[in-house]
């Protein structure tokens, strides 16, 4: 079973503490007049739509939900979807929005009370009374199911009985928004609902379809005819456990006087396995109407067989002058366009009284028609057509509305590619619509084309640049890398289009990211003087180190070689070692005294020395070295010259 959190709904009654929202105008449009009720998810206020001059019910979500961005997003989508659901038994959704920390829903204002109020005042209902209420509830659910909606939270608090006898279902889509918002990583597996009416699949898996609404409607029927819900426990979790593991008992097991026909409806609608239930509200409604045709006509709430006690049980509805009583006779057909309930007298009168009642009823109708006609003439009948205001400035529009007795609300703005900045894009109501004199026309004023400047992202990391571009409602396009002498590796060198260019929302900005300075190619420095080679490498941004070596070919103090070798590349700032020539190596002169001239010459030349032979004027047959110009054991440079005297 999923981890569950359950929140109860409490209807405000009696003395209330002052509410800071009463008297405020929400979103520049809804004046909050009074608080009606406070529940676990929202507070409901009676408010006036200043734009359309009508009374609405304003449902303001509690801060714990309004602070959840995921909930707000889901709530907005579900409210927009619910607003498309049109049925006479569904509380209409007019608008949704945010005003600072307030997340609200503007709905049809339904004067009257809930089924919960009726059960509190009168206790359980008769079978015929309960089915008269359930019929329009199922009509509302049927319309929702056809449109692809699932209510998810069918309960007495969401079934409203209007002062003029209609039945309406409220809060379509809200349960889905809340259950989705609470399935985030932070609250994984959390389910918010009303435990007494949750279907087993909602408890176990958090899923709901049309059959889940059928289950909730079955529990609603059970409670209306018995006065209590089928499962109770010390904790909500205990109640949820029973929904999953126990069968809903038959109402007659609690109230023996309940008809077996009601037992059958509850059994078919509130079985644990969804596949065994009615597939949708329409199928449930067919059986409800079949049962209604077999039951007696319903009586008003609170009417009992003992007239002496009836007066204490009949509680008039405000403005209706009578208890709520469903219509007598056969149940309405599927094509019926009449409302599901109308106010009737609390008890059955005699025929003579019935005739008087009809006469009085007709007189009331005539008076109502006259009053309506007068009201139409004095109020709604005095209307004017909204003139075309598109592409006009606010001052021009005000000047055009003034002679018609209309005023302008130009507080809303929006971007436009076609309407100039400061001119009107559209109005609500549209041009040509009929409105009463003194009405306010809401206009959306153009802010001009939607454009955003390319921000300065130079010198920033790619992540920083991406975040800044995204904040400006643009997107990052391609990212290329290039060497740059001034910008550190990994930082943005430039953006295209250039900084300050104005782009449309979502257009891309290409980035060039530095790979750091370009590497340096080592030139051939061999033979250059130490000073000259050092200057060349330093100018290229390299560090220089030195090493010494003898060289038979390179002059002392000049470059013999480099490490890395000539032709290799080194990152800028890298180090190159130059080998500087110490000149030719040293050679130790050997002792060649008394050696044959040719032998001595060969030995010395093998050491890299140059040999000069000197002979006397008279050549002797000995041909041996008698004198060497550099003494044996002396060290001289490779290539030095030694003179040998031969006799």
Tokens of 443: 């206009």
The answer to whether 386 and 431 are in contact (CB under 8 A) is yes
- Rounded CA gap, 221 and 217, in Å? 6
Tokens of 435: 């409105």
What is the DSSP code (8-state) at residue 195? G
The answer to whether 400 and 385 are in contact (CB under 8 A) is no
| Burial zone of 104 (CB within 10 Å; 0-12 exposed, 13-18 middle, 19+ buried) | buried
- Rounded CA gap, 592 and 630, in Å? 10
Per DSSP, the residues of 117-145 read HHHHHH-S--HHHHHHHHHHHHHHHHHHH
Tokens of 250: 């038959």
Question: Is 67 part of the annotated catalytic residue set?
Answer: no
What is the DSSP code (8-state) at residue 472? T
Nearest CA to 287 out of 131, 88, 89 is that of 131
The answer to whether 166 and 193 are in contact (CB under 8 A) is no
SS3 content of the chain, % helix, strand, coil (to 5): 30, 25, 45
Per DSSP, helices labelled H in 147-248 are 174-181, 200-205, 210-226, 236-245
From the list 117, 135, 153, 484, the catalytic residue is 153
CB atoms within 10 A of CB 409: 15
Count the residues in the chain.
647
Per DSSP, the residues of 515-533 read --SPPEEPP--TTSBHHHH
What is the DSSP code (8-state) at residue 600? H
CB atoms within 10 A of CB 515: 16
Task: Note the maximum CA span of the chain.
Answer: 183
First to last CA, the chain: 123
- Rounded CA gap, 4 and 203, in Å? 8
The answer to whether 594 and 643 are in contact (CB under 8 A) is no
Cis peptide before 428 (omega within 30 of 0): no
Per DSSP, helices labelled H in 270-379 are 281-292, 307-310, 351-375
| Burial zone of 253 (CB within 10 Å; 0-12 exposed, 13-18 middle, 19+ buried) | exposed
Q: Enumerate residues 6+ apart whose C-beta is below 8 A from 221.
A: 130, 131, 134, 262, 265, 266, 269
Q: Enumerate residues 6+ apart whose C-beta is below 8 A from 454.
A: 469, 472, 474, 495, 497, 498, 499, 500, 501, 502, 503, 509
CB atoms within 10 A of CB 436: 14
| Coil, helix or strand at residue 576 | strand
Report how far Cα 439 is from the mean position of its chain's Cα atoms. 36
Catalytic residue numbers?
153
């Amino acid at each position: 079973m999923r981890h569950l959190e359950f929140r109860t709904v409490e209807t405000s009654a009696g003395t209330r503490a002052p509410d800071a929202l009463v008297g405020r105008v929400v979103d520049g449009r809804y004046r909050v007049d009074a608080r009606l009720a406070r529940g676990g998810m929202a507070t409901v206020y009676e408010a006036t739509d200043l734009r359309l001059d009508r009374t609405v019910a304003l449902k303001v979500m509690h801060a714990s939900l309004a602070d959840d961005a995921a909930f707000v997003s889901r709530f907005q989508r579900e409210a927009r979807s619910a607003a498309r659901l049109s049925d006479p038994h569904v509380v209409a959704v007019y608008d949704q929005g945010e005003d600072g920390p307030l997340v609200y829903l503007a709905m049809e204002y339904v004067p009257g009370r809930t089924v919960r109020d009726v059960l509190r005042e009168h206790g359980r209902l008769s079978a015929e009374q309960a089915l008269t209420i359930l019929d329009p509830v199922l009509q509302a659910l049927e319309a929702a199911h056809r449109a692809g909606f699932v209510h998810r939270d069918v309960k007495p608090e969401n079934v409203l009985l209007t002062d003029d006898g209609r039945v309406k279902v409220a809060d379509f889509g809200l349960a889905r928004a809340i259950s989705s918002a609470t399935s985030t990583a932070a609250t994984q597996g959390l389910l918010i609902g009303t435990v007494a009416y949750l279907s087993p699949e909602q408890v176990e898996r958090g899923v709901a379809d049309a059959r889940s609404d059928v289950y909730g409607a079955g529990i609603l029927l059970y409670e209306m005819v018995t006065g209590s819900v089928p499962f109770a426990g010390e904790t909500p979790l205990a109640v949820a456990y029973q929904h999953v593991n126990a069968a809903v008992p038959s109402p007659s097991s609690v109230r023996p006087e309940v008809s077996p026909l009601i037992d059958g409806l509850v059994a078919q609608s509130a079985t644990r396995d969804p596949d065994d239930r009615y597939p949708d509200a329409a199928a449930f409604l067919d059986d409800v109407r079949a049962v209604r045709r077999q039951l007696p006509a319903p009586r008003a709430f609170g009417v009992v067989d003992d007239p002496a006690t009836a007066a204490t049980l009949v509680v008039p509805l405000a403005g209706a002058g009578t208890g709520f009583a469903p219509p007598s006779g056969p149940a309405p057909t599927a094509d019926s366009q009449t409302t599901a309930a109308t106010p009737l007298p609390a008890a059955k009168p005699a025929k003579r009284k019935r005739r008087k009642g009809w006469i009085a009823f007709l007189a009331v109708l005539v008076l109502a028609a006259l009053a309506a006609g007068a009201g139409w003439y004095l109020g709604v009948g005095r209307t004017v057509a909204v003139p075309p205001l598109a592409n006009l400035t606010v001052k021009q529009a005000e000047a055009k509305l003034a002679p018609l007795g209309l005023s302008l609300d130009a507080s809303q703005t929006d971007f436009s590619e076609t309407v100039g900045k400061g001119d009107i894009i559209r109005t609500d109501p549209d041009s040509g619509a009929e409105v009463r004199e003194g009405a306010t026309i809401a206009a959306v004023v153009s802010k001009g084309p939607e454009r955003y400047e390319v921000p300065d992202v130079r010198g920033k990391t790619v992540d920083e640049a991406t975040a800044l571009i995204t904040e400006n409602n643009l997107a990052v396009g391609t990212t290329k890398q290039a060497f740059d002498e001034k910008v550190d590796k990994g930082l943005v060198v430039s953006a295209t289009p250039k900084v300050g260019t104005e782009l449309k929302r979502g257009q891309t900005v290409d980035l060039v990211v530095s790979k750091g300075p370009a590497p340096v190619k080592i030139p051939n420095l061999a033979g250059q003087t130490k000073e000259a080679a050092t200057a060349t490498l330093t100018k290229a941004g390299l560090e220089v180190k030195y090493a010494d070596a003898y060289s038979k070919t390179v002059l002392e103090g000049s470059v013999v070689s480099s490490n890395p070798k000539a032709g290799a590349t080194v990152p800028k700032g890298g180090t190159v070692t130059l080998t500087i020539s110490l000149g030719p190596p040293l050679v130790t002169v050997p002792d060649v005294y008394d050696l044959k001239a040719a032998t001595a010459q060969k030995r010395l030349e093998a050491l890299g020395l140059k040999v000069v032979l000197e002979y006397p004027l008279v050549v002797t047959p000995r041909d041996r070295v008698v004198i060497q110009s550099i003494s044996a054991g002396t060290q001289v440079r490779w290539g030095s010259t030694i003179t040998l005297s031969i006799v």
